[in-house]
Structure 1
Amino acid sequence: GKRYGIINLELVQKIQRVRDSLDRKIFVISGIRCPFWNTHEGGHRNSFHLPKWGLASDLGIEKAWSRGETIKLYLAAERFGFKGLGFYGIFIHVDTGGRISRWVYKKGKYIYLFN
């Protein structure tokens, strides 16, 4: 099978805008995932991380020693219109998928703010 995927240009452009607005290094923790790795990471079977979509990334920010730094990243991402935006403590999920959705992942559970 394929071992690659195409990353959505809108996703890349929005991530760059977030990075420029913060003037900080941003790290892609997880981008496109093969189905096996997506399952391993606990991703949804139709995750936007999958190669057929290429619409999602998990991002961290340099020197994110506290949730406060990750909150800055989350708020910057919010300003640039990502459809999906999730908070995981030391990293965030962003996507340019189908519908607007916001959530927090805490103590092994998803708390949806709206979906």
Structure 2
Amino acid sequence: MGDLSKNFSRHEFACRCCGRTEINQRLVDALQELRDLAGLPVRVTSGYRCPEHNRTIGGATRSQHLLGTAADIAVRGMPPAEMYRLAEDVEAFRNGGIGVYPDKGFIHVDVRDGRARWGQLDGKYVALAKALKNTGGNDHATA
């Protein structure tokens, strides 16, 4: 049982360097909807990031993680292409941001105002279609 929703707790979203947690409830609600659709646990690998931590890991300067509106997630046994398809079924993500990172085994989801899609392979941004094609059922997720 979570303290933010049925399955999510505040500590899952805490910044890895300082422990601070600023999380948008719309994100939590959308993640809960995704978890319910998947019927499997969704692991948050990165939630809120303070500016220092975001810089340290090379995060985007205007990252949604800084606003508490984004999470990187993995689902055990589910390749990123399948996670992407599920995220598209959640209205807040369908109208927000989804990034696919097949070589790292996770997707990024956010509840920004406006639709954004991207993929990343070998540390380089690529067309979403290319990232989805390269998931090839090769599951790196270890949720």
**TM over 0.5: same fold?**
yes
Question: In the alignment, does 2:97 pair up with 1:84?
Answer: yes
More strand by share: 1
Give the direction of change, closer, same or farther, for the CA distance of 1:16–1:110 in structure 2 (3 Å limit).
same
More helix by share: 2
2:61 corresponding residue in structure 1 = 45
Rounded to whole Å, the distance in 1 between the matches of 2:33 and 2:25 is 12
Shift of residue 3 of structure 1?
Answer: 5.4
Which sections of structure 1, spanning at least 5 residues, go unmatched?
Answer: none
Shift of residue 4 of structure 1?
Answer: 2.0
RMSD over equivalenced CA pairs, Å? 1.6
Q: Secondary structure at the match of 1:11?
A: helix
Q: How many residues align?
A: 106
> Which consecutive aligned stretches of 4+ in structure 1 deviate over 3 angstroms post-superposition?
none
Q: Could you tell me the percent identity over the aligned residues?
A: 38
Give the direction of change, closer, same or farther, for the CA distance of 1:112–1:40 in structure 2 (3 Å limit).
farther
Which sections of structure 2, spanning at least 5 residues, go unmatched?
Answer: 1-17, 129-143
Aligned letter for 2:37? S
Q: String of CA shifts for 1:23-77, please: whole Å, max 9, x gaps.
A: 0111000000111211122211121101xx210000011234xxxx222111101
1:55 corresponding residue in structure 2 = 69
TM-score by length of 1: 0.83
